[in-house]
Amino acid sequence: MKKGTLFPLLAALIMLTACGNDNGIKTMRSSEYRTHFNPDNEPYFPYQWYLSYTQNEFTRTIGVNPDASIHIRDAWQETRGEDITVAVIDGNFEIDHPDLQENVADRYNADEDSRDVKNKEDTSSHGTAAAGFIAAVPNGYGILGAAPDSKLLLIAQVYADDAATIRAFEYAKKHGAKIISNSWGTGDVSEAVASELASLKKQNITIFFASGNNGPTPVNSNQNLDAPGIYDESELPSVIGVGATNEYNRLASYSNYGKNIDILAPGGEYLGLLGLDDTGPKGVAYTSYRFPNGYTLEIDDAHAFETGTSFSCPLAAGTAALMLSVNPSLTPDAIREILIETAEKIESEYVYYNADGFNTRRAYGKINAARAVAMAKSRPSAYQQ
């Protein structure tokens, strides 16, 4: 397996109520939901605290901070990521998931040079979940991705092999991806891969990497990416490195940090983010989460709470898709600058940010999608290629 891959910490399984589905999973056509878009039409959007806070029994009982989200609603007034393709390089994917399939534009297995992206040796739902945080479909079935009208290029690549890794990135480039989301890292990036990522940035492709989940800090922890001997993909100058915040709008204790990590996005900690699990017997069958109103939702096993920078990363990539949708001329450097300039300084009442707005553990703060999209739209001439 790829060294250092960031698998999810699944807190609890969420199961859906019917939506007229009385005999298992079926395809939901989303054209009507896209045309008359309303996030509240998705039955589990009220539990997606990381996108937008909804005051309800669930968020009150969990104690979710109303400011813990990336404030997506105002961004969606401008765009939902149309005309942007985002590549996700990960372990495996369920391409016919009801909350994904209509947004899957293409798929590729870089290890096997095939189109089979369901890894038989990996029973996790890591790739499926990561893709869902970017582009889960508006269809009245479950949840929404940050850029629900963007398209997905799903690339399976799991082995520690430079040639396959480069092949994955090259496929993304050749098939039109402007953003590449990577919820993994090696801690020891090779010169060949680093050179590939630098080349992609020069070709105007924006690359996101998760910083990793090695905390809380014990003795000899690798949580500090500035420690000797660590050179992770998330630290590269050609990459936007993403750490995690939790439900209380604080730094997630597990989130790796360092002077080259750029931004934070919600990753959850005590409960997690409601995302996608594989459907049917392939799903990760944990006990279902009992909601505060006293009943348990249980029909299928297609949605689960998941925790980690693995899921902060696709939220950041989804936000970038929104930005590019309103301003296709944005360069990778411009996307990074806007994300940083519009970020929220979490814990600023007792944490020091330097003159540049940077804190070693908290980077430049947490993504605010509404601000980022507004700035991307309002200053197009400042960031021409």
Report the candidate in 138, 90, 81 with the shortest Cα–Cα distance to residue 117.
90
The half-sphere exposure of 196 on its side-chain side, counting CA atoms within 13 A, is 19
Q: What is the pLDDT of residue 2?
A: 56
Q: Over the stretch 39-62, which tens digit does the pLDDT of each residue have?
A: 999 988 999 999 999 998 888 888
What CA–CA distance (Å, rounded) separates 10 from 268? 11
Report the candidate in 34, 72, 35, 31 with the shortest Cα–Cα distance to residue 53.
72
What CA–CA distance (Å, rounded) separates 236 from 194? 7
On whether the CB atoms of residues 18 and 25 are closer than 8 A, the answer is no
pLDDT-derived band at 73, boundaries 50, 70, 90? very high
What CA–CA distance (Å, rounded) separates 211 from 4? 11
What CA–CA distance (Å, rounded) separates 132 from 51? 13
Q: What is the pLDDT of residue 298?
A: 42
Q: What is the set of domains in the chain, with CATH numbers?
A: 9-383 (3.40.50.200)
Look up residue 349 and give its DSSP letter.
T
What CA–CA distance (Å, rounded) separates 65 from 68? 5
Q: Three-state SS for 344?
A: strand
Look up residue 373 and give its DSSP letter.
H
Q: Over the stretch 333-355, which tens digit does the pLDDT of each residue have?
A: 999 999 999 999 999 999 999 99
93 vs 29, residue with greater confidence: 93
Residue 367: both structure tokens together: 């993504």
Sheet containing 85-90, strands listed edge to edge, beginning at the edge strand earlier in sequence: 104-109, 151-156, 85-90, 179-182, 206-210, 240-245, 263-266
229 vs 300, residue with greater confidence: 229
Cα-only R_g, the chain: 19
48 vs 221, residue with greater confidence: 48
Kindly tell me if the per-residue pLDDT of 21 is higher than 80: no
Kindly tell me if the per-residue pLDDT of 376 is higher than 60: yes
Q: What percent of the chain has pLDDT over 90?
A: 70
Q: What is the DSSP string of 267-292?
A: --SSS-EEEE---GGGS--PPBPB-T
- Average of pLDDT values for 190-216? 96
Highest mean pLDDT among 5-19, 21-35, 267-281: 267-281
Report the candidate in 89, 48, 75, 50 with the shortest Cα–Cα distance to residue 265.
50
What CA–CA distance (Å, rounded) separates 149 from 34? 8
Q: Model's pTM, two decimal places?
A: 0.90
Mean pLDDT of all residues belonging to the chain: 86
Q: What is the DSSP string of 161-180?
A: -HHHHHHHHHHHHHTT-SEE
Which residues, listed in sequence order, are joined to residue 123 by a DSSP beta bridge? Answer: none
Q: What are phi and psi of 377, to 5 degrees?
A: -75, -35
- Average of pLDDT values for 172-181? 98
Q: Over the stretch 274-323, which tens digit does the pLDDT of each residue have?
A: 888 877 666 654 334 444 433 334 434 567 788 999 999 999 999 999 99
Q: What is the DSSP string of 289-339?
A: PB-TTS-B--S-S-EEEEESHHHHHHHHHHHHHHHHHH-TT--HHHHHHHH
- Average of pLDDT values for 59-80? 95
Q: Three-state SS for 105?
A: strand
Kindly tell me if the per-residue pLDDT of 76 is higher than 90: yes
Q: How distant is the alpha carbon of residue 85 from its chain centre?
A: 14
What CA–CA distance (Å, rounded) separates 153 from 105? 6
Q: What is the pLDDT of residue 301?
A: 54
End-to-end CA distance of the chain: 38
Q: What percent of the chain has pLDDT over 70?
A: 83
Q: What is the pLDDT of residue 270?
A: 87
Q: What contacts 96, CB < 8 A, 6 or more positions away? A: 27
What CA–CA distance (Å, rounded) separates 142 from 137? 9
Q: What are phi and psi of 313, to 5 degrees?
A: -60, -50
Q: Over the stretch 233-257, which tens digit does the pLDDT of each residue have?
A: 999 999 999 999 999 999 999 999 9
Report the candidate in 358, 353, 273 with the shortest Cα–Cα distance to residue 313.
273
What CA–CA distance (Å, rounded) separates 343 from 315? 14
